Amino acid sequence: MSDSKSSLTRRGLLVSVSGPSGVGKGTVIEKVREQIPDIAHSISVTSRPMRSCETNGVSYYFRTEDEFKQMMARGEILEHDIYLNNYYGTPIKPLIDHIEHGRDVLFDLTVSGSLALKENYPEAVTIFLLPPTLSELRRRLICRGTESMELIERRLLEASVEIPKADLFDYAVINDNVHDAAQRIIAIIEAEKHRYCRQIGIEDRILEG
Ligand code: 5GP
């Protein structure tokens, strides 16, 4: 057995979660992170204004639109999307750092963001979080009470365009309740970690021990 093979450790896992607005992605991701504290969170750059509950450099790196565009021009953004007139993007440098250190990374991305991540990193695991039905999504958006009926109808229209893209993802998880959806995502992460291709040289390390 070669030294180079035996010295290889498990490769970090890149996991992205996407889903239509109102599906409960943020809450489910929070639950997953609570239960897998070792997983790094890819902190995105955004041009949207910071909310009072957020901290710069923790929730996002908040930048002006000009600063965001300059970062893009310098090639510092892996993928980006525009959501409700604001820019969102994945910075490359911290991601490379995570990968080099073999850390698992969780991404919270728009649908096109997950697909772009997969294009750049085919080994990334993409998860599409779905509502049980479109009418349940409507009910949740209405209950949230943060948007006008007109905006809710627009979100539902967007959702009906996004949901058929589930077939482009590796996994489709229904968020019928937060606990179960988080458990399913945790099970996917656990199973993906055990793929042989992510544990190259495992047999050598065992035989050496
Ligand atoms: P929010 O403004 O509610 O924090 O996020 C709005 C949307 O932007 C969410 O769907 C979130 O997943 C997405 N998002 C956050 N960061 C990124 C990113 O770096 N790239 C892409 N493509 N989408 C992102």
What are the domain boundaries of the chain? 4-208
Mean pLDDT of 57-81: 97
Q: Report the side by side order of strands in the sheet with 171-174.
A: 40-41, 105-108, 14-18, 125-130, 171-174
**81 Cβ inside 6 Å of ligand 1:** yes
- How far, in Å, from the CA of 7 to the mean position of ligand 1? 37
Mean pLDDT of 110-134: 97
Helix (H) or strand (E) holding 157: helix 149-162
Count of residues in the chain: 209
CA distance 40 to 87: 22
pLDDT number for residue 9: 62
CB 20 within 8 A of CB 136: no
**pTM of the complete model:** 0.93
Average predicted confidence (pLDDT) for the chain: 93
Neighbours of 101 (CB within 10 A): 10
The CATH code that applies to domain 4-208 is 3.40.50.300
CA distance 5 to 189: 24
Neighbours of 31 (CB within 10 A): 18
CB 169 within 8 A of CB 18: yes
**67 Cβ inside 6 Å of ligand 1:** no
Model confidence at 7, pLDDT cuts 50, 70, 90, reads very low
**83 Cβ inside 6 Å of ligand 1:** yes
**87 Cβ inside 6 Å of ligand 1:** no
Q: In which residue are the tokens 């988080």 written?
A: 182
CA distance 132 to 138: 11
Using alpha carbons, select from 85, 187, 172 the residue that is nearest to residue 127: 172
pLDDT number for residue 2: 40
